[in-house]
Structure 1
Amino acid sequence: MTDTVMPRVLIADDQQDVLVALQLLLKGEGISTELATSPGAVLEKVASSSQRGQDYDVLLMDMNYARDTTSGREGLDLLSSIKALDQALPVVAMTAWASIDLAVEAMQRGLGDFVQKPWNNARLIHVLREQLAVGKRKRATRNEMIEARAIQQRLIPRESLQLKNFDFACLWQPAREVSGDYCDVTPLNDRYVSICIGDVSGKGLPAALLMSNLQAVVKANEAAGMSPQQLVTQVNHIISQNVAANKFITFFYGIVDTVEHRFTFTNAGHNAPLLLRKSGGVEFLREGGTILGVLPDQEFTQTTVALEVGDRLLLYTDGISEAVNAAGEEFGDQQLALIGQSYSDFRPTDLLREIHQAVTAFHQQEEQDDRTMIVMQVLPTGC
C-alpha cells in the first residue's frame, strides 16, 4: 500500500473566524493546513519551511491586514516578498475589496488566482486544486533545472588551476538556473593547453542545451589534434547544420605553448580577450572571423602572439563588459583593462574576484545575463 502525502496549504488572514472556517473546510478535503495572522508570520513560515526542504504547496492569503482594510497594498507587498523567497509557490488571494487594478497588479507580481470574500466553498476548492497542480508542475521543472545546473557545473573547469608555469582562474555564474556561457581550460598533452570561451545567444534551457552541444563538438575535435583555425572551422560547420535560424554562438579558442610561451588563437565574433602585458600595454585579441552558426563554409584565420612572464590574459562574456548601471552606461572593456592594469601584482584568482566585485557594484541590480571569465597568467619557471 502506498502512502499518500497530504498537500500543505498555508492560510494567512488576520481574522480568527476566517482561519478556523478555512481550516475545517480544507481538512474535509484531505488538505493539511498551517495558519498565519500577519505578513511577517507568513514570510517567517515560508522561509523556515523552504530551509527545511518542506515547501508549502499553496499559500492562501488575505490581501489586507493591519495597515488598512481595503486597499490591498499590504497583500501586494507580501506577494512580492513571497515570490522573492519561493518563485514556485502558487499564491491564491482572498479579498472582499477586489478591483480590476488590484487584480492586474497582483497577477503581474505572480498571483495564481483570486477568490472573492465571502467565498463559495466549491469555487475555493476548485481553485486550490488547480493551483496545487500548477505548483507540482513548477517544482518538478525547478528540480529538473537544478539537476541541469549541476550537470553544467561539471562541464566547467575548477575555479583555479595551475598547469606547469601558467596559472588559471575561472568564473561561471549563470543569471538563471542554467547558462548559455561556456568556458574550458584543457591540458592537451605535456606541452599544450587549450583555453576557450563561448556565449550562446538567448537564455535558459535552450541556450544551455546548445552550450552542451558546443562543448561536445569542441571536445571531439580537440582529440584530433587540430589547430585553432581548423577546430573553429570544423565546429562552425557542425553547429551551422544543427542550430536554429535565429541562434548563434560567439566563440574564442586558443592553444598555449607552455614551452615556447606562445599563444595561437582564433576569435569567432567573441568579445576580444585582453592581453595585459607586464610592461603595462594592452592588446585586444580580435582576429579570427565571424560568429558560429550562420555561414557553414565560413573561413577563419589564426594568430600567434608571444607571451612573457607576468603577462595576463582576460577572457570574458558580454555579461561582464555589457553590465549596465542605473544611468544606462555599460561597464565596458576599457574599464576591465583598467582594473587589470591597476592590480598588476594580483594572481588570477584575486584579479578575477576584484573584477567580479567591480561589475556587481557597477550593476547594482538583479543579474540579467550570465557572467563568465577566465584569467590566465604566465608565471616564472619553477613557480
Structure 2
Amino acid sequence: MNVACAPDMRVLIADDQPDLLDALRLLLKSEGIDMEAVTSPEAAIAALEAKRYDLLLMDLNYTGDTTSGAEGIDLLSRVQAIDSSLPIIVMTGWGSVDIAVETMRRGVRDFVQKPWDNAALVATLRSEINAGRDRRRRAEDDRREYEEARRIQRKLLPTALAQIEGCEIASHWQPAAGVGGDCYDAIAFGPNRMGLCIADVVGKGIPAALLMSNLQAAVRAFATEAAQPAELCHQVNRILCGRIAEGRFISFFYSVIDTALGTLSFSNAGHYPPMLVRLNGCVERLPDGGAVLGVFNDAIYQQGHVAIASGDRVILFTDGVTEAHNAEDEEFGEERLMECAVANRTCSAPALQARLAEEVSTFTSGAFQDDATLIVLAIE
C-alpha cells in the first residue's frame, strides 16, 4: 500500500493534453495529492496569482506545431516573478542540453520524461514538495530575523543628532536590502563641546544588530566629558574583545569637538579616515588611531588633534558609500566623494549631506549593496 502525502499538498499541472491530465489526476488522487490542471500558460499564471501551490508540474510546449520550448521558457520567467520559491518540475517527451540548461537557469528543479514511471514520478513530487516547504520555512525564518534585526538597528540609530553652538550636524543613513552594521551617535557635553562617533560592524542580521547594541552601550558608558578619544577606544575595545564572536570586528571613529577652543580631537580604530575640507578647498584626512575594535585585547590607540575654523567641513562615512557599485561594477570611491565635498564645501551641513547622498545614489541608480552612512559637520 502506498503511503499518501499530506492531503493539503497542492500541485498545479500545466499541459495541453487531456489524456495526460486525466492519467495524472487518477495517479495523484490515489497518492493523496491535490491536483489542479490548466492547459495554457495564461491559465497557469492566473492560477498562481489566485492561490499558493506546493509545486508546478509543467510542459514546455502548448502549441501543437512547435517543439521549441519557447512558450515554456517564457512561462518559467513569469512564474519566478510571481513565486520564486515555488518548486518547478518540467515534463518533456524530448531532450535538449541547451533547453535543459536554460530551464535550470530559470528555476526548474527536475525533469520528468514522457511517458513516466508512476512510482518514480510520485517519489520526485514528494521529494520536491518537502524540499520546497523546507526552503519556504527557512525563507520565512530569515525574513523574521531580518525584520527583527532591522527593528533593532533603527531603534539604535538616533532620530536626531545632538547640536552644539558654533557648528551644524546633518546625517544620512541609506539602508541596503540586508541588515548591515552601520552605527553613529552624537553626545553633547555642554553648549560648545560634544562627542561624535561612527562605526561599521562586520556582519549582517541579528548578530550584527546585537553587536551594535553592545557597542552603543559601551560608548555611552565611557563617553564622559573628560574622556579622551584614544582612552575611550581602548576601554571599548577591552569590553568588546571579551564578548565579540570570532571573525567579527568593528571599525570605529570617535571625536570630541570643542567649538569654543576650535579643536577636534579624535581616535580612529580602523575606520575610513574622515575628510576635513577646509574653506580654501584643501583636504586633510583623520587617520590617527589603531586597530579595529574587538580583535586585539592589548591594542594601543593614538590620538590626533586638528584645529577647526569657520567654514570647515568634516565628512564622516562608512564603506557603504565609497564601495557602492554602479551597473558596470565600478566603485564610487573616496576620490569622487572628496571631489563632491570640495565642490560643495560652502553649503550648509544639511545641503552638503544631501548633495553627497544624491551623488552616490545617482552613481548606483539607488541600488546600495551595503548600508551607507554620511555625517557632515559644518563649522560656523
Structure with bigger gyration radius: 2
What code does the residue aligned with 1:95 have?
M
| d(CA) in 2 for partners of 1:372, 1:115 | 50
CA distance in 2, matches of 1:204, 1:144: 7
Write out per-residue CA displacement over residues 237-290 of structure 1, whole angstroms, 9 at most, x where no aligned residue. 222233344332221011222443432211112111011122322111111122
Q: How far does the alpha carbon of each residue in 1:310-342 deviate from its partner, in whole angstroms, 9 at most, with x for none?
A: 322111112222334566654322221110121
- CA separation of 1:203 and 1:11: change in aligned 2, threshold 3 A: same
Task: Tell me how far apart the structure 1 counterparts of residues 280 and 39 of structure 2 sit (CA, whole Å).
Answer: 64
Q: Report if the CA contact (8 A) 2:12-2:35 is conserved.
A: no
8 Å Cα contact 1:13-1:62 kept in structure 2: yes
User: Which residue matches 1:95?
Assistant: 91
Are the aligned partners of 1:12 and 1:37 in contact in 2 as well (CA < 8 Å)? no
- CA deviation vs aligned residue, 1:52-91 (integer Å, no higher than 9, x gap): xxx946462637367996566666666567667766x333
2:194 aligned partner: 193
TM-score by length of 1: 0.76
Which residues of 2 match residues 148-227 of structure 1 at below 5 A? 148-158=149-159, 161=161, 163-165=163-165, 166-222=167-223, 226-227=227-228
Structure 1 partner of 2:258? 257
Residue 183 (structure 1) shift: 1.8
Residues 302 and 40 of structure 1: is their aligned pair in 2 closer, same or farther, counting only changes over 3 Å? Answer: farther
Q: Judging changes above 3 Å, is the alpha-carbon distance between structure 1 residues 298 and 162 closer, same or farther for their aligned structure 2 residues? A: closer
CA separation of 1:355/1:295 partners in 2, compared to 1, >3 Å: closer, same or farther? same
CA distance in structure 1 between the aligned counterparts of 2:376 and 2:280, rounded to whole angstroms: 18
Query: CA 1:31–1:301 in 2, change beyond 3 Å: closer, same or farther?
Result: farther
**Which secondary structure state, in structure 1, belongs to the residue aligned with residue 242 of structure 2?**
helix
Q: In the superposition, relative to structure 1, how do residues 56 and 157 fare at CA in structure 2: closer, same or farther (>3 Å)? A: farther
Which moves more between the two structures, 308-317 or 94-103? 94-103
**Contact in 1 for aligned 2:59/2:90 (Cα 8 Å):** yes
2:229/2:255 contact within 8 Å kept: yes
Judging changes above 3 Å, is the alpha-carbon distance between structure 1 residues 318 and 15 closer, same or farther for their aligned structure 2 residues? same
Where do 1:223-238 residues align within 5 Å?
A: 226-238=227-239
User: Are 1:143 and 2:144 an aligned pair?
Assistant: yes
Change (3 A) 1:302 1:32: farther
User: Which structure 2 residues correspond to residues 291-310 of structure 1 after superposition, within 5 A?
Assistant: 291-310=292-311
Show the counterpart of 1:335: 336
Distance of aligned partners of 1:324 and 1:43 in 2 relative to their CA distance in 1, 3 Å threshold: farther
More divergent stretch after superposition (30-39 vs 273-282): 30-39
Structure 2 spans left out of the alignment, 5+ residues? 1-6
Question: Does residue 1:270 correspond to 2:271, yes or no?
Answer: yes
- Indicate if the aligned counterparts of 1:38 and 1:65 stay in contact, CA closer than 8 A: no
Higher mean alpha-carbon deviation, 218-227 vs 341-350, is at 218-227
Instruction: Tell me by how many angstroms 1:138 deviates.
Output: 1.3
After superposition, the C-alpha distances for 1:125-160 in whole angstroms (9 at most, x for unaligned) are 4532431232123113212211211221111123x6
For residues 327-366 of structure 1, the C-alpha deviation after alignment (integer angstroms, 9 at most, x for no partner) is 6654322221110121234333332333233224434595
TM-score (norm: length of structure 2): 0.76
Q: Taking structure 1 as reference, are residues 242 and 309 closer, same or farther at Cα in structure 2, changes over 3 Å only?
A: same
Unaligned segments of structure 1, at least 5 residues = 1-5, 50-54
Q: Take 1:142 and 1:249, find their aligned partners in 2: how far apart are those partners?
A: 25
CA-CA distance at 1:44 after TM superposition? 11
- Say whether the 8 Å CA contact 2:11–2:33 is kept in structure 1: no
d(CA) in 1 for partners of 2:212 and 2:168? 25
Q: Map residues 1-383 of structure 1 onto 2, 5 A cutoff.
A: 11=12, 13=14, 15=16, 17=18, 37-38=40-41, 42=45, 56=52, 58=54, 60=56, 62=58, 64=60, 89-96=85-92, 120=118, 122-123=122-123, 124-158=125-159, 161=161, 163-165=163-165, 166-222=167-223, 226-325=227-326, 329-363=330-364, 366-379=367-380
Secondary structure of the residue aligned to 1:170 is strand
Secondary structure of the residue aligned to 1:60 is strand
1:369 is paired with a residue whose SS is coil
1:351 maps to amino acid: L
Secondary structure (helix, strand or coil) at the match of 2:89 reads: strand
CA distance in 1, matches of 2:376, 2:150: 23
Q: Is the deviation greater in 12-21 or in 241-250?
A: 12-21
8 Å Cα contact 2:152-2:209 kept in structure 1: no
Aligned to 1:3: none
